[in-house]
Amino acid sequence: MHFILISGAWHGAWCWERVAALLEAKGHRVQAPDLRGMGADRTPLAAVSFQDWATAVARVARASGEPVVLVGHSRGGIVVSQAAELAPEAIHTSVYLAAALVPDGLRMADVFATARTDPAVAAGVRLRADGVSTDLDPALLPTHFYNTTPPELLARAISRLTPEPVFSNAAVMQLSPEKFGRVRRAYVECLQDRCVPIELQRKMQDALPCQHVGVLDTDHSPFYSAPEALAEALIAAAPA
């Protein structure tokens, strides 16, 4: 299979380093592109849009030459969904890893507002002086994002986070049954997630059921806390 891995808010392609190596060792093709303005891509966020992200991911999927497994972590879920609307013919399965699975016409903010989430998470998201991006209170990372991750990998993650554009929370999903709806969906739950709690993960699946559900007993960041288990879960989510 060909996996395309899309990172979540404040993260970049770097977060997939351990999982990508494990998937490749099992004979799979892997790409982990940085979204514009994220990770190693230094495009100013004021010059980027949500549509830019979705269009770029759809383009990568179409260029594969075979149907891909498109994996979105956390905020990456909305990017995966919109890319599936743009290029359904290029996608074998969309996999949502503790991810935002948002119906047509709604925003990620709308869905999260319906759930009981820890108020510390919202309080720890800080608007930056540029007015177009946010960063995270570092105190949230060990308690809510990386609570089952080894300390040395937590430190590695903290050193590599970058600002997140405010448009990601406000982007309205534009999805249709004919395009997005025809792509097979899978969800991978994270039971010890304190950022996107399991109750919210399952509420989103109730609204948009998935054909396969995997479960990891991890925090919100299994790419670092349990990469071997995550690699197996991604393979299981998209059988050949």
Within 8 A by CB and 6+ apart from 154, the residues are: 141, 142, 146, 224
Residue 84's pLDDT is 98
Residue 122's pLDDT is 86
Residue 66's pLDDT is 93
Please give the Cα distance from 159 to 50 (Å, whole number). 25
pLDDT tens, N- to C-terminus, the chain (240 residues): 999 999 999 999 999 999 999 999 999 999 999 999 999 999 999 999 999 999 999 999 999 999 999 999 999 999 999 999 999 999 999 999 999 999 999 999 999 998 887 888 888 999 999 999 999 999 999 999 999 999 999 999 999 999 999 999 999 999 999 999 999 999 999 999 999 999 999 999 999 999 999 999 999 999 999 999 999 999 999 987
Residue 194's pLDDT is 95
Would you please indicate which residues are annotated as catalytic (active-site) residues? Answer: 74, 193, 220
CA 195 distance to own-chain centroid: 13
Do 180 and 96 touch, CB atoms closer than 8 A?
no
- Rg of the chain's alpha carbons, rounded to an integer? 16
Residue 231's pLDDT is 98
Residue 134's pLDDT is 97
Residue 239's pLDDT is 82
Q: Could you give the domains of the chain?
A: 2-237 (3.40.50.1820)
CA neighbor of 70 nearest in space, from 240, 234, 239: 234
Residue 69's pLDDT is 98
Please give the Cα distance from 155 to 146 (Å, whole number). 10
CA–CA distances in Å: residue 201 to residues 2, 9, 116, 117 = 25, 16, 11, 11
- Type of residue at 145: F
Residue 120's pLDDT is 87
Within 8 A by CB and 6+ apart from 150, the residues are: 224, 225
